[in-house]
Amino acid sequence: MQEMPVTADGPVTKSQVIRPQSTAVRLGAYLTLSDHERLRVFVHEFVMHGLIPWAEKTIRTLNEQVT
């Protein structure tokens, strides 16, 4: 579960979170360290078990079509 930030006035609720006041977008501002670790593991697993095997298969197929 995602933790909401706390201000001097107390915890911030979802209804209070609207948009950053500046034009810069702060992506991932509410991610916890646990969220970061889980994302890191997910991306690693996706690349190692999904993306790389797909790319290797695609390159083999293209190589066979060219030769």
Residue-wise pLDDT for 29-49, tens only, equals 888 999 999 999 999 999 999
User: Is 43 or 20 the better-scoring residue by pLDDT?
Assistant: 43
Tell me whether residue 8 is in a domain: no
CA distance 41 to 35: 10
Domain region containing 59:
30-67
Domains held by the chain: number? 1
Tell me whether residue 18 is in a domain: no
Section 6-22 average pLDDT: 59
Tell me whether residue 25 is in a domain: no
Tell me whether residue 7 is in a domain: no
User: Looking at the predicted structure, is the pLDDT value of residue 2 above 60?
Assistant: no
Q: Which of 10, 13, 48 has its CA nearest to residue 2?
A: 13
Tell me whether residue 2 is in a domain: no
At residue 49, the pLDDT reads 97
Structure letter (DSSP) for residue 3: P
Tell me whether residue 23 is in a domain: no
Residue 39 vs residues 4, 14, 28, 46, 54: alpha-carbon distances, Å: 18, 22, 11, 10, 21
User: Of all helices (H) and strands (E), which one includes residue 34?
Assistant: helix 33-46
